[in-house]
Amino acid sequence: MNKTIAIELQKFAEVIAERFSHKDRKENYNNEDFKVEEIIPMSDHTAVINFKKTTGKIGVAFCYYIAKGKYPGWKLSLIHISEPTRPY
């Protein structure tokens, strides 16, 4: 992964953490904050991001990079957040 794409990935990971940390986010019942714990490049254009949540749980995101086209840059493909977070 080249340096420019790696820097973009770091910024993208922080944006994801910020978005999921919003106190008014639907299903954020525990008012959790997300912090980037680790970024693991899987190839030149894919990566896994591990998040640590203030409740001790984890989140994992899979991202991919689009180099050309109308909307180039990092995209979020999938995020898994450890449960339970819903009140019963």
| 7-to-14, 30, 59, 67, 72 alpha-carbon distances in Å | 11, 31, 21, 14, 15
64 vs 41: CA distance, rounded Å = 10
Per-residue pLDDT tens listing for the chain (88 residues): 899 999 999 999 999 999 888 878 777 777 888 999 999 999 999 999 999 988 888 889 999 999 999 999 999 998 887 765 555 5
* Dihedral sign, Cα of residue 46, residue 80, residue 35, residue 23: positive
Q: What is the pTM for the complete model shown?
A: 0.82
